[in-house]
Amino acid sequence: MGQIIVSMYLSLDGVMEEPAWTAPYFNEEVAKFQSNLLFESEALLLGRVTYQGFAAAWPSMTDEEII
């Protein structure tokens, strides 16, 4: 049986729909963690806004930009 792993950005006051506040804290360690989660996943469940962001960005990316 597979695992369900949830990874989300959530502020201390419970806001989860606006992850822009995370930018100052995004470093190489966080990037590696998120990259590992993404590329080890068999499937992703995205909300509408995240899906729209992925759909706009990913088709134009090269292999070098993805990693």
Query: Where residue 65 falls among pLDDT bands split at 50, 70, 90?
Result: low
The string of pLDDT tens digits covering residues 39-64 is 899 888 888 888 998 899 888 888 77
What does the pLDDT read at residue 66?
62
- Rounded to the nearest 5 degrees, what angle is found at the Cα of 6, between the Cα atoms of 21 and 54? 60
* CA distances, 21 to each of 11, 12, 67 (Å): 8, 11, 23
pLDDT above 60 for 67: no
Domain boundaries, the chain: 19-66
What does the pLDDT read at residue 32?
93
d(Cα 28, Cα 15) in Å, to the nearest integer?
A: 24
What does the pLDDT read at residue 23?
87
pTM above 0.85, yes or no: no
